[in-house]
Amino acid sequence: MTTPQLAPGDALFLREALELALRGHGLVSPNPLVGAVLVNGDQVVGRGFHTWAGVKHAEILALEEAGGDARGSTLYINLEPCSHDGRTGPCARALIEAGVRRVVCAIEDPNPLVAGRGLRLLREAGVEVQIGGVLAAEADKLNESFVHAMRTGRPLVTLKAALTLDGKISAPDDNRGWITSEQARAHVQQLRHSSDAILTGIGTVLADDCLLTDRTGLPRSRPLLRIVADSQLRIPPGSKMAVSCRADVLVATTSAASPERRAALERQGARIEVFDGSGGRVDLRSLLDWLHREQYRSLILEAGSKLNWAALEAGIVDKVFLYYGAKILGGMQSLPMAGGAGRRRRADAIRVHHLTLHSVAQDLGDLRAGSRVNLERPLAANGRLSGHIVQGHVDGTGEFLALEPLGLDNWWLKIRAPGDLDRYLVFKGSIAIDGISLTIASLEAGVLGVTIIPHTIENTSLGSHRPGDRLNLECDILAKHVEKLLGRLDVKPELTVDKLREAGF
Ligand SMILES: NC(=O)c1ccc[n+]([C@@H]2O[C@H](COP(=O)([O-])OP(=O)(O)OC[C@H]3O[C@@H](n4cnc5c(N)ncnc54)[C@H](OP(=O)(O)O)[C@@H]3O)[C@@H](O)[C@H]2O)c1
Ligand SMILES: [Zn+2]
């Protein structure tokens, strides 16, 4: 399929849809993240994002907000609207009925139940459809595990390990203390939060008595499924995993396990499934098939040497996340990240493609020669007006509080706004931060939050701040016009919220 060039305004609204989709992070699985923005004559008339518990699809929420203004509008959405009757009716049909004129979407839905049918329905009804463009790759990445699961019929498997520089995961005598930093461990928690399931081997449970929970404290659409590969059901009934299980522990075993142990674990609330594999071990591919049937889209593997190798050898690992601590353990008895038989010849080594390196601790300094600054082209007099109106007139400075990871690649930027700007800030309204036009995604007690996708981090200076830094804020010019107008009206004393509502505001 050709990748059409989107107009600059289209890309802006589509980016807003992607940012909106992120608001559902952790709240959508087994569904994909979807954000929708409806625009009529350069005005945003409706927005929506999907959550599993909220049931309604993003485009339906946007249609509801837009009401009659949906007629003749353009829908910007990261994923093709659906065409099938799931828990809700087909969205494509609802868009047609509401009179939406044009749909701009970043990618086709890889779900075999949709796969282009939603777009076809729209086209057949005379709706103009545009797909692809600059944000297609990013939209794929936004729903990486969903897209992977739909295309391959298996969950996305990510092997995570904390290593010394010489590739060791465990010391022979005493494993208290940590290999990596607190920031790296916080990142691992995000990794768990972004995953539907987590898998370890019984070797790790016996050595570490691990819990494997998602401790971010963030809400999720369903509990993280904690899985132990344990062929003989050696897991101790008193282990933290067994004691803490609340229908969120699966012990993957073989038919060689004792029925008594099985019954005892089931009484504790664990789910036991048999996946007989070669050598009397758990068959990892059958486990993945089971997970797919149960609609788990992603699995993180946090295991020891043996299971890590078994997974790599079976070819089921899609990604590896290796967190290095600047230490060297040495020794022939320290465990390597992947043990087992390994490959006997250099030429047979398992290859890792698309390598990226990140420094987990952020240590970027203040503005100096060579620092990145944000530049934006001015609006041409004959250009189409779209997105937020940012003039570059700073209204005040806010304090950078945090840039918290939202999933693996996205961010949640929090800024304390000065009190005198508060009256211009509204939830879902516009704000320019260091000249970058963004949408206010949360607003509480003077702290505003915006969601940031990798495109924005990579192409602006927003990623290079530290707590306490000052950022330039510019509020929406419309709010200032409205304020001035209201100030001039003699009817001001009578102008109440109720009156405005009556007048249709
Ligand atoms: N630094 C890190 O990131 C990290 C992470 C996790 C663990 N660790 C360390 O790793 C050490 C444990 O390593 P480990 O190799 O003994 O444990 P492991 O890999 O977690 O578990 C291995 C066990 O899993 C069971 N298993 C079930 N199905 C399997 C299959 N298909 N293939 C392979 N094994 C299967 C086997 O026991 P059965 O035959 O009884 O089923 C096997 O002995 C601990 O010291 C722990 O601290 C470090
Ligand atoms: Zn839908």
Angle between helices 284-293 and 305-314 (to 10 degrees): 80
pLDDT for residue 3 is more than 50: no
pLDDT at res. 164: 95
Residue 244 structure tokens: 């803490």
pLDDT, one tens digit per residue, over 319-340 is 999 999 999 999 999 999 999 9
pLDDT, one tens digit per residue, over 272-318 is 999 999 999 999 999 999 999 999 999 999 999 999 999 999 999 99
89-93, 289-293, 301-305, 393-397: least confidently modelled range: 393-397
pLDDT at res. 348: 95
pLDDT band of residue 365 (cuts 50, 70, 90) is very low
Ligand 1 atom at minimal distance to the Cα of residue 280: 39
pLDDT at res. 1: 43
pLDDT band of residue 67 (cuts 50, 70, 90) is very high
Q: How far is CA 446 from CA 416, 417, 470, in A?
A: 6, 6, 15
pLDDT at res. 145: 95
pLDDT at res. 361: 52
Ligand 1 atom at minimal distance to the Cα of residue 205: 20
pLDDT for residue 220 is more than 60: yes
Q: Which amino acid is located at 160 in the chain?
A: K
Residue 481 structure tokens: 């016009």
How many Cβ atoms from other residues are within 10 Å of residue 38's Cβ?
28
Q: What are the residues whose beta carbons fall under 8 Å from the beta carbon of 289, sequence distance 6 or more? A: 153, 154
392 vs 370: CA distance, rounded Å: 22
pLDDT for residue 364 is more than 50: no
How many Cβ atoms from other residues are within 10 Å of residue 486's Cβ?
12
List all residues whose CB is within 6 A of at least one atom of ligand 1: 161-162, 169-170, 175, 179, 200-204, 207-208, 229-232, 234, 277, 281-282, 284, 302-307, 310, 335, 339
Q: Which of 16, 19, 59, 302 is catalytic?
A: 59
The closest alpha carbon to 296, from 389, 383, 212, 227, belongs to 227
Site to probe by mutation for ligand 1, drawn from 157, 170, 180, 253 as the one with most ligand atoms within 8 Å of Cβ, is 170
20-34, 294-308, 422-436: least confidently modelled range: 422-436
Q: Is 59 a catalytic site residue? A: yes
